[in-house]
Structure 1
Amino acid sequence: MNNTQPAQGELSVMFSGEGKTLSGHGIGPAVHNYYLMHTVVSGRGSFEIDGRRYDCSRGDTFLIFPDELFSYFADDAQPWHYVWVAFKGHAAGHLLLSLGLSPSSPIVHTDELRHLTSLYRKIRSTFERTSFPELADLEAGGHLRVLLKEIGMLNEGKLIVDSLAILPDIDRQIKRAVRWLSYQYAQPISIEQLSRSLGYHRTHLSKMFKQVTGVSPMQFLLKVRMDRAKELLNEQSHLSIDQVASSVGYPDALYFSKQFRKTFGYSPSEYRAQARNG
């Protein structure tokens, strides 16, 4: 079932479904611009992402990530039956990473499917029985969060909250800084204040941040803001350029436009026009 009024916030369901495939049925190689999670109820098949192939069967959940080339095919002898949910949101990537899920680690297994399939069913039924799409979006998002929590519980040994304990102190602090910048990008952010809150001098934090992530804190923040700005320009046509700028942490729309052009090679207005015509 499709969500006719998906929100543009941190996490929202786009559609959900269930299906039994034919022998050899396949998708890809292809790329999506959203997250798509399948859980295999019966049968088997293969899934490929990030250059790796995984053989999946009953109890396996596999996750497709935006802008990652993927393919999946049902087995000829025992084609799979699976349930799925597609979602997006500016917090989704970091949330999944905290659950230990990434293009290089996209599989989770359980021997007990009943609770997971029940949550998928609740997501689907939310859109089948409502006359108020906005309320359905809220309810489906709640079920999705519970589903992701259950997936995270299954992903033993890979949760960031657990793995942080065995990392050096600076690595733990950098991961916290990354998470903070990713969620607070719309607020006035001072790297000096962030450094003090983590107990490091700004110069030292910036040096270690770049060593761990490959970019400086301000470069990371700029990327988060610019990527979010692209989403808003493409998906929220009712927002003015000034409103988009404010939504990603730039009270000065002119400065925002200069940063956008410097990053992508065209202005926010030109990008919006291209997106509409494309």
Structure 2
Amino acid sequence: MKKRRFFATAFEPHAPFWIESIGFNPDQEPIRRPTGYGWYHWLQTKDGEGEAIIGERVYRLLPTSGLMLLPHTPHRYYAVGGGRWSTFYLTFGGPLAAQATAVLGIDADRVYRWDAGCPLDRAVPDAALRLTSRRRLSGLDLSVEVYRFLVALKRYGRPDGVAVSIDRLEQRIAPLLAWLDRHFANPDVGVADMADVLGVSPRHLRELFKRVYGCSPYRYLLGQRLRRAKERLLSYPDEPVRTVAERVGFRDASHFIAAFRKAENMTPEQFRKLHLRR
């Protein structure tokens, strides 16, 4: 594969993300940056082997691994093993870059690993191919590529020291979600029942949901019940609120109304009137 490079020279202020550069280097040269780089910097190995040094830590970069560097982090990297080290890279920033990386938990200098063939494996290579093949690109085109990469890194990447990706955890949880689709209306369903479906402890289930969904299993179940309630409020406009509450798993109307108001900042009847306008 030949060297590919794309450099942006003008950054549209209305675009949420900017790409400064993206490309493929078939023979990565040694890089030393004592004051870091002014953009978020992603570097992943295609073939060969490299090492990166950040502070006093040395990271080995093999195929299916990459390094995320925050702006201005001092670093250096170089090939090891006596052969060529080929890499893909992406440098980006923009008005929402800091906020998006913080929300996604991609806010530290860190090595990521992933399963060969997963979408993250091709995220930057495919983006580099698309961008270097097109002559006319808008800031929104570039923003889409950055966002697609960040989501792939969050879902499929395993930060150094983490054994399982979010994608694998989602697959692990999938049988429980299918079970909840059938049993959400049972008000007796609790965290212990949910844990039993997966054959794990309630504590482990809480850890799974916290990492995948950012909330507890109970909060997830409550959200599903409220979503079903919204659908029912509009599908059955004459059904009393207390009946809606019973059909989606609440023990009484008062609990349902309180939970709905807290989540939506309005009562179920106000929600119904807002959307039906009768």
TM-score with structure 2 setting the length: 0.50
CA distance in structure 2 between the partners assigned to 1:130 and 1:27 by the alignment: 31
Q: Report whether the alignment pairs 1:39 with 2:41.
A: no
CA distance in structure 2 between the partners assigned to 1:162 and 1:114 by the alignment: 18
Seen in structure 2, the aligned counterparts of structure 1 residues 153 and 114 have a Cα distance that, compared at 3 Å, is closer
1:50 shift after superposition: 4.6
CA distance in structure 2 between the partners assigned to 1:103 and 1:63 by the alignment: 8
2:19 aligned to which of 10, 13, 16: 13
Q: Report whether the alignment pairs 1:29 with 2:31.
A: no
Q: Report whether the alignment pairs 1:64 with 2:69.
A: yes
Seen in structure 2, the aligned counterparts of structure 1 residues 77 and 129 have a Cα distance that, compared at 3 Å, is closer
CA distance in structure 1 between the partners assigned to 2:108 and 2:56 by the alignment: 9
CA deviations 1:127-169 (Å, max 9, x no partner) are 43444342xx322321221121111012456988658547xxx
SS in 2 for 1:111: coil
Q: Is the 8 A contact 1:32 1:68 kept in 2?
A: yes
Q: Is the 8 A contact 2:38 2:72 kept in 1?
A: yes
TM-score with structure 1 setting the length: 0.50
Q: Report whether the alignment pairs 1:3 with 2:8.
A: yes
CA distance in structure 1 between the partners assigned to 2:30 and 2:84 by the alignment: 8
Q: Is the 8 A contact 2:114 2:120 kept in 1?
A: no
State the match for 1:185 in structure 2.
none
CA distance in structure 2 between the partners assigned to 1:92 and 1:162 by the alignment: 22
CA distance in structure 2 between the partners assigned to 1:140 and 1:123 by the alignment: 9
The residue identity in structure 2 corresponding to 1:15 is S
1:51 shift after superposition: 3.9
CA distance in structure 2 between the partners assigned to 1:162 and 1:29 by the alignment: 36
State the match for 1:74 in structure 2.
79
Q: Identify which range, 5-14 or 123-132, moves more after superposition.
A: 123-132
The residue identity in structure 1 corresponding to 2:26 is K
Q: Is the 8 A contact 1:40 1:81 kept in 2?
A: yes
CA deviations 1:184-206 (Å, max 9, x no partner) are xxxxxxxxxxxxx99xxxxxxxx
CA deviations 1:199-237 (Å, max 9, x no partner) are xxxxxxxxxxxxxxxxxxxxxxxxxxxxxxxxxxxxxxx
The residue identity in structure 1 corresponding to 2:136 is F
Q: Is the 8 A contact 2:19 2:142 kept in 1?
A: yes
1:26 shift after superposition: 3.2
Q: Is the 8 A contact 2:17 2:143 kept in 1?
A: yes
Seen in structure 2, the aligned counterparts of structure 1 residues 58 and 126 have a Cα distance that, compared at 3 Å, is closer
SS in 2 for 1:5: coil
The residue identity in structure 2 corresponding to 1:66 is P
State the match for 1:169 in structure 2.
none
1:97 shift after superposition: 2.7
Radius of gyration: which is bigger?
2
The residue identity in structure 1 corresponding to 2:21 is F
The residue identity in structure 2 corresponding to 1:10 is P
Seen in structure 2, the aligned counterparts of structure 1 residues 163 and 51 have a Cα distance that, compared at 3 Å, is farther
Seen in structure 2, the aligned counterparts of structure 1 residues 145 and 36 have a Cα distance that, compared at 3 Å, is same
SS in 2 for 1:145: helix
Seen in structure 2, the aligned counterparts of structure 1 residues 49 and 7 have a Cα distance that, compared at 3 Å, is farther
SS in 1 for 2:89: strand
CA distance in structure 2 between the partners assigned to 1:29 and 1:81 by the alignment: 23
* Percent of pairs with identical residues: 13
Q: Is the 8 A contact 2:114 2:121 kept in 1?
A: no
CA distance in structure 1 between the partners assigned to 2:133 and 2:48 by the alignment: 30
The count of aligned residue pairs is 165
The residue identity in structure 2 corresponding to 1:99 is L
The residue identity in structure 2 corresponding to 1:69 is P
What's the RMSD between the two structures over aligned residues? 3.1
CA deviations 1:67-100 (Å, max 9, x no partner) are 2111111114234211111100132123223333
Q: Is the 8 A contact 1:68 1:103 kept in 2?
A: no
State the match for 1:245 in structure 2.
none
Q: Is the 8 A contact 1:37 1:62 kept in 2?
A: yes
SS in 2 for 1:58: coil
The residue identity in structure 2 corresponding to 1:20 is P
CA distance in structure 1 between the partners assigned to 2:20 and 2:121 by the alignment: 18
Q: Identify which range, 58-67 or 85-94, moves more after superposition.
A: 85-94
The residue identity in structure 2 corresponding to 1:139 is D
